Every structure is written in structure tokens, then in C-alpha cells.
Amino acid sequence: MFRQYLWVSLFVATSASVNASSLDSAQGTQNSTHVAAAASQQRIDTSATNALSLQGEIEQLQQQVNNLEVYGQHLTALIASQNSEVSSLNAQIDEIKFTRQGIVPLMYQMIADLKQQVQAGMPIKQAQRLERVEKLDTMMVRADVSDAEKYRRILEAHQIELDYGTKLSTYQGEMQLGEQSIEANMLHLGRLSLVARSLDRTQYWAWNAANNQWQALDNHYATDIDHAFSVANKQTAPSLISLPISTPVTTQQEQ
């Protein structure tokens, strides 16, 4: 009986020991499983984070590629425009070469016409006007003056000549009376009338375009001429003036 009890006790003890060992083993396995699961989840989380980061980089790179494509298209269009502009400029340069061949003779002709007009017309500031023409002649052979500037100055000189045909103006200058030159006050009304008055206001002359010389005037012109000088010099209010005609009616267009 004792042996049977002892065996049973040993069996119970052995069973308890086996059960405890199995429980510890199961608990260890469960713990290992939890650790492995946690490690796996961490790897999954890391992989997901890396995947999101890579996705962001891919989208950024794709945007850069799109921007480069747009910029490339812009450069292509810009180069095409520049090539077109170069072609246009080359055509303009070729055209300018032909234009200069025509404009230079024209400028010389304009100066010649200007000189002929000054020499043949009434001697209004003639010395000053001839000096202007001579300067234009000298300018034409200067390499430091562009053709555009030469043309501008010639047009300016022609405009000055046109102004002489519309202004009422006075100035002091020399007048030629035969072999004698005297200083006098001059007044011109456009190119219609040119008169002179001695500095002491005792003598008066009018330019006679038909004879191309100065002609002495009677004293009864003195009042009208003095009044014209006052109006031209703004010493009196503008009013009707009376002056002898210097240019014959048949030659007005030529003047």
C-alpha cells in the first residue's frame, strides 16, 4: 500500500513537473511570438515610412522632369525666335546697304539745293546761312558722324530755311551798296519783303530781287518801316504793317 501511494505521489509530482515545464515552454513561445511580431511590425512600419518617403521623392522628381520639359520647350521656341530675328536683321542690313547707296547722293543733292537757294534768294543773313551750308559740306566726309546724323542735320538746315519764309524778324548785318559795305539794321517779312535802316535811322533801303541789289527808299517809307521794326522787336503790339515788296510776283514760287 505504501508503495502504491509512493508511486502515485511520484506520478503526481512528475505530472506537475511536466505540466509546469510545458507551461513555461508555452509562455516562452508566446513571448517569442510577441517579440517576433513586434519586430515584424516595426519592420513593416519602417518599410511603410521608407515607401512614403520614396513616393514623395518620386513625385518631386516627376515635377522637376515636367518643369524641365516645359523649360526645354520654352528654349526651343526662344531659339527659333532668335533665329528668325537674326534672319530679319541680316535682311535689314542688306537693305540698309542699298539704302545708303541711294541716301548719300540724295544728301549731297539736298546740300547743293540749299546752297543754290541761299545764293540766289534774298540776302537774309546770307553769310550765316552760307556758313551753315559749308559746315554741311565738311560734315559729309567725316567718318565720325553717322549717315543718320548727317541726314538729320541737313533736314534741320532745310527747316531753318523754311522758317525764313514765314517769320517777321530783325537783325544787324552788312549790306553791299555798290563798292561800299555798311552796317545796318535789317528786317524781313518771310521772303516777301526785305528792308534795311541805317543805324542812325536817316536812310532806308529795300531789296530789289529783280535787279539783285539794294534800292534806296524815299523818306515817306520811314514811318511804316519804323513801325514794322517796333512790331518785330515786340516794342509795340502787333498790328497791320506796310512794307515794300522785294520779290516780284512772278518769282515768288522760285523764292
Task: Decide if pLDDT at 49 tops 90.
Answer: no
Give the whole-angstrom CA distance, residue 223 versus residue 217: 12
Task: Decide if pLDDT at 11 tops 60.
Answer: no
* Local confidence band at 12 (pLDDT 50, 70, 90 cut-offs): very low
Q: What is the pLDDT of residue 91?
A: 73
Higher pLDDT, 134 or 255: 134
Q: Taking a C-beta distance cutoff of 8 angstroms, is the pair 154, 145 a contact?
A: no
Give the whole-angstrom CA distance, residue 199 versus residue 197: 6
* Local confidence band at 116 (pLDDT 50, 70, 90 cut-offs): very high
Residue-averaged pLDDT of the chain:
82
Overall average pLDDT of the 212-217 stretch = 93
C-alpha cell, 243: 512794307
**Cα 204–220–182 angle (5° rounding)?**
10
Task: Decide if pLDDT at 38 tops 80.
Answer: no
The enclosing H or E element of 214 equals: strand 213-216
Task: Decide if pLDDT at 48 tops 50.
Answer: yes
DSSP string, 88-116: HHHHHHHHHHHHHHHHHHHHHHHHHHHHH
Q: What is the pLDDT of residue 135?
A: 96
Burial 31-66 (b: 16+ CB within 10 A, else e): eeeeeeeeeeeeeeeeeeeeeeeeeeeeeeeeeeee
Q: In terms of Cα–Cα distance, which of 236, 247, 133 is closest to 189?
A: 247
Task: Decide if pLDDT at 8 tops 80.
Answer: no
Give the lowest-confidence range in 12-26, 128-142, 178-192, 231-245: 12-26
pLDDT, tens digit (0-9, with 9 covering 90-100), for 143-192 = 999 988 999 999 999 999 999 888 999 999 999 998 889 999 999 999 99
Q: How many CA atoms lie within 13 A of 157 on its CB side?
A: 26
Query: 174 — phi, psi (to 5°)?
Result: -90, 145
Task: Decide if pLDDT at 75 tops 90.
Answer: no
Which amino acid would we find at residue 31? N
Give the whole-angstrom CA distance, residue 6 versus residue 77: 105
Task: Decide if pLDDT at 208 tops 50.
Answer: yes
Greatest CA span in the chain, whole angstroms? 187
Give the whole-angstrom CA distance, residue 134 versus residue 236: 37
Give the whole-angstrom CA distance, residue 118 versus residue 114: 6
